[in-house]
Amino acid sequence: MPNVVLTVDCEAAHHDRCFTKEYIDVCEFEFVPATWMIHVSLKDPSANTKLYWHEFYHKIPNWHEVGMKVNFENERGYVEDERERGNIIRVAKETLKSHQIKVSSFRAGCFALVPTDIKYLEDIGILVDSSIVPDSDYKMFVDWRGAPHEPYHSHPDDLHKVGSNRILHVPVATHEGTHAYLDRGFEELRPLFEANMDREVICIGMRDYHDSVADLRKTIRYFRERGAHFTTLTQCASEHYEHHPELVAH
């Protein structure tokens, strides 16, 4: 039985379209949860937090999850400096905290997670990360070729390897270089879904400014017909430890 995690990158404050209400309606009608990754960057730290707090947070059922998506950028562009990246993570936490939002799940913008980020994420209480796109053709800042496809704890010096970091990585599902974001369309992703059917978790992404409403409905029904269990990122991590009790003392 596939374990499906639906995630939404929440960036609509920086775009002229937003389909969050429609996504919420589909999830409620189908009775499946999603993990809403509120986007924060130093360019405009609170824009998406304010949008979701005022317009959508009270409409998202409490059996969903709100997480955090961080773009490691400032007014000069992509940030590589470790301390500045750590500061961006802290700013993101404080921005969400100022709106009484506490998160335990995380995604790096452009999937640009590096080993030195982990300690800062652990410090703010992140339990599960979904920044890995193993063997994907997407290589803007990090090449994830060779990374595990199943949930794993990474090595302190190399996130492509299994190791002792406390955070559990739940990779986005991939197949033949494609990573599972619904803006590609259901039919294009169907081979990816079929190829990942035997994995512990199938993690699928959406973008709140892209109209994937019909494809979301098709995707939910496709997996439901195959006996899928729908869950959030943090709940997925909890269930992972239930099935792997030797990791609880990790």
Q: How far is 182 from 196, CA to CA, in rounded Å?
A: 15
Per-residue model confidence (pLDDT) at position 217? 98
Q: How far is 192 from 178, CA to CA, in rounded Å?
A: 8
Write the CATH number for 165: 3.20.20.370
Nearest to 68 by CA among 105, 41, 33: 105
pLDDT band at 242 (very low <50, low <70, confident <90, very high): confident
Q: List, for residues 8-42, the tens digit of each pLDDT value.
A: 999 999 999 999 999 999 999 999 999 999 999 88
Domain limits for position 216: 3-247
Rounded to the nearest integer, the mean pLDDT of the chain is: 94
| pTM given for the model | 0.94
pLDDT band at 248 (very low <50, low <70, confident <90, very high): low
Q: What percent of the chain has pLDDT over 90?
A: 88
Name the domain count of the chain: 1
Q: What is the mean pLDDT of residues 147-171?
A: 97
| Residue 247: pLDDT over 70 | no
